[in-house]
Amino acid sequence: MSSPATSGDREKVVSKLPGWLRQNLKIRAAQHGIEIQAAVEQGITAWCRLASATADVDTAGADSFSTFLPPGQWEEFRRTASDRRASLIQGLAQSVQLWLDTNPAPDIERPTVTRRIIVCNQKGGVGKTAITAGVGEALAEDPNRLHAVRVAKALTKALRASETHAGDDEPNEQNDPLDIENLPGLGLRVLLVDFDPQCHLTNQLGASPLAMNGDSLTNHMAGDPKGDLRDLIVSVDDDTFDGRLHLLPACNDAFLLDVRLSAVRAREAALERALTPLEADYDVILVDCPPSLGLSMDAAAYYGRRRDGEKPGQSGALVVVQAEDSSADAYELLTTQIEDLRNDLQVDIDYLGIVVNLYDSRRGFIATSSLQGWVDIKDPRVVGLIGDLKEQKEAVRMKEPLLSYAPKSQQAIGMRALAREIA
């Protein structure tokens, strides 16, 4: 059935499709970055041009499906279906399936050089671990499923929203439904490295810290490995991430890392020497750094430097802060250390951006003015604003990844937006 209701110069068409086929169409259209109506139009055009109908499609349980087609196409389709003695439902299903068959899911675009993201701040308690995990999870999500993503990029809108909703029960930063879009997962192979002796990332994701008398990243960095570093890696929630998300757990021996590094030749390159053998297995490696300005932070910053042949902004430092004054002091200390390392070693260390974490506009002027202060820096720019909501705390308590525990939460939606900002 068609009606004069239009979308542009198109006419509205109402028919039926089985739910599984409609979902496949929705995902594949998103993967190719086109509208569903354009995919259906292409499928019908191709089907009508065939010499005969294709194989029957199981249309059991088909329910209402509407789209917009160019004027006259539906009538041509009806005539073709009649000539082939196919029902309109069957003909439409064959057309959609034909488009799916001729437009397979695109290959994942993988970086030519493994990206290295150093998540850092000298100040503890700002949520570096949560951001490391959330970004890694978002990068590794299933490319054959749709996930809610916040697509608004202008943080000025978030500032206005935070003021408007300051009296609400929950923070509402960037929480406008019009800003949410369902997009395929990025499907990248991700390694999370817990580089903090406190083992927060390891514990939050439900893994066990490495034994003090066994092998560890610290041993490999200090030149005293006891085995292959790959043997220490664990997979994170394969039901959700299908083997794409891995973790290198921490060990408490990292408290001694700076002491051990002091006796290591070219100690700035110690982390790189340890992790380079793993890079061929991953598209992105994220390092959850300790709240420290010691030798371990030098090694992390050096690992995130821009390599020969690597584009600016592919690897580098992602700085996590809060909208309060002490984060600004810590930020100055961190950037000073990175700048000193740049000058001393003559390397390029890019800033991937600032993430304002645990934001709650109900905290008043300190929070809103501090957020504006971060936005005003501009270089590096603010690339993420994550609210202080209960789901992250609950996920930590349950020792589950946030994007598995609460995939539709505002924090999960914000993590996906952040991952795409720096992807």
pLDDT of residue 405: 97
Estimate to the nearest angstrom the gap between the alpha carbon of 352 and the chain centroid: 14
| Confidence check: pLDDT of 177 > 50 | no
> What's residue 23's pLDDT?
96
pLDDT band at 220 (very low <50, low <70, confident <90, very high): very high
pLDDT of residue 228: 97
3 pLDDT exceeds 90?
Answer: no
Q: Over the stretch 34-64, which tens digit does the pLDDT of each residue have? A: 999 999 999 999 999 999 989 999 999 999 9
Give the bridge partners for 234, in sequence order.
247
pTM of the model: 0.90
DSSP state of 257: H
Look at residue 7 in the predicted model and tell me its pLDDT: 54
What integer pLDDT is reported at residue 46 of this predicted model? Answer: 97
Q: What b/e readout covers 333-346, taking b as 16+ CB neighbours within 10 angstroms? A: ebeebbeebeeeee
282, two tokens = 């991953």
- Asked if the model's pLDDT at residue 269 lies above 50, the reply is yes
Measured CA to CA, the distance from residue 103 to residue 27 in angstroms comes to 12
Asked which of 78-82, 98-102, 173-177, 412-416 is least confident by mean pLDDT, the reply is 173-177
Least confident of 114-118, 143-147, 329-333, 396-400: 329-333
